[in-house]
Structure formats: C-alpha cells, structure tokens
Amino acid sequence: MTALIIVALGGSGASPHAPGAVSAMSTYTYVPGKGELLDLMVDAVYGEIATAALLGEDWWQRLASIARANWALLRRHPWLLRLSSSTRPVPGPNTMAKYENELSAIDGIPVSEVQLDAVLTLALGHPQNAARMAADAEDAEQRSGITDEQWWSGYAVHLQRVMDPRKYPTATRVGGAAGDEHNSAHDPEYVFEFGLQLLVDGLRSSSCRSRRRGCWCAAAARR
C-alpha cells in the first residue's frame, strides 16, 4: 500500500528497487488511470472501519464513537486527507458500508433525514479538521528537522517583540495560556476531544428542546 500511495500521489521518495516498490506504468496495468487508483485506495482503507462496532447505549455516545473511529483512521492514514471528498464521494463497497453503518448508529435523533445526513457530515468533518492540523504539524517537523516546541522556543524572542500586551491584550492572555499548556500554538488531539464534546453537547441540547417544544427539525428546515 505504501508504494501505491507514493505512486498515486506523485511522490518520488521510493526507490524502484525497494521491497514492494512499483512503477506508475506497472500500476496502471491493473486500473484505467490514476483517478481510479486513488478511488480504490480510499475505498480499501475505509474498509478498516466500514463495519466497526460503534459502541454506546445512546445516539450521542455512538456519534462520538463515529468521530473517534474516523480520527484514528485519519491518524493512521493521513494521506486520506488529500484524497477523500465529502462532496463527491466514490460509492465503493466499503464507502457505502461505512455510510450505512454510521447513519444506522445515529438513526433515531429527532431530526429529518436531510438533517441526519448533516449531523453525520459534522461528525466526520470535525476529525478531518483536527487530523489535518496534526498532519500539518508533522509535515513541518519533518521538513524543518525541529519539533514545534523547539520552533516556538526559538521564535519566543521575536514573538515577545511584536506581541504587545497593551495592543493585543486578549491575544496575549489566551495565546500565552494555550502556548504554556500545549508547548505549541495548539494541540490537535485536545482540539479534537474538546470540539467533539461541544458538538455532542450541542446536539443533545437541541434534541431536548425538540422534545419539549415540538418539531425543532421542521422549524430549523424553514429557516
């Protein structure tokens, strides 16, 4: 799979003599072209969680399980962030099984079918954003040869010159607290877990209001 990823993404870091290495021409003997190869790769990796058990007695617990399963998948395969699309998904067998499995896990939320699809889209988009932050940080470390902590330590003197607390009091206070906590501008895993809690709490709150005041989903659809 690693060699296929390098070929499909146009990388040149693999030696043609390395174990498992393949040439672009030999790869395309089996598929019509690069686009089809990428589609097959994405669908194959989705198979890792296509039928995963999404645990939880309540829908919000299963929604959190969906987000965490996708976060873990993207951390294992960060190249997916460059290939997968929520606007033009390829209906491969694993992609469809994953969609069915995830929708079934949260079916029963008091919203319309269109809104149920939107809830799932939100739950999938959140780990993508956090995983992209993590991948960007790892790419920067690989390119520069220094960790985020080392980079920020070296940058601190310049930051102190431009970060005037009288001019930027809120940014100084909040940015300083976050930097002290994470030894970086942010921690993708913290962002993921904190954001997931906000997402779940917000949906649970909306669900409770819908039961007390009638059809919240219909009112929201009219806006």
pLDDT at 164: 84
Residue 48 token pair: 């890792």
pLDDT at 157: 77
Pick the closest to residue 106 from 88, 123, 84, 131 (CA basis): 123
pLDDT at 68: 97
Residue that the structure tokens 């190869």 belong to: 37
Backbone angles phi, psi at 183, to 5 degrees: 55, 35
pTM: 0.77
Amino acid sitting at position 203: L
pLDDT in tens, 127-178: 999 999 999 989 988 999 988 778 777 777 777 788 888 898 998 889 888 8
Which positions of the chain have pLDDT values less than 70? 1-33, 84-87, 208-223
Torsion of CA 148, 151, 155, 156, to 10 degrees: 60
pLDDT at 118: 94
Superfamily of domain 56-222: Tetracycline Repressor, domain 2 (1.10.357.10)
pLDDT at 30: 60
Pick the closest to residue 133 from 64, 61, 195, 48 (CA basis): 195
Question: How many residues can be counted in the chain?
Answer: 223
Distances in Å between the Cα of 194 and the Cα atoms of 8, 29, 162 are 35, 46, 30
pLDDT at 31: 63
The DSSP output letter for 167 is T
Backbone angles phi, psi at 147, to 5 degrees: -75, 165
pLDDT at 10: 58
pLDDT at 15: 40
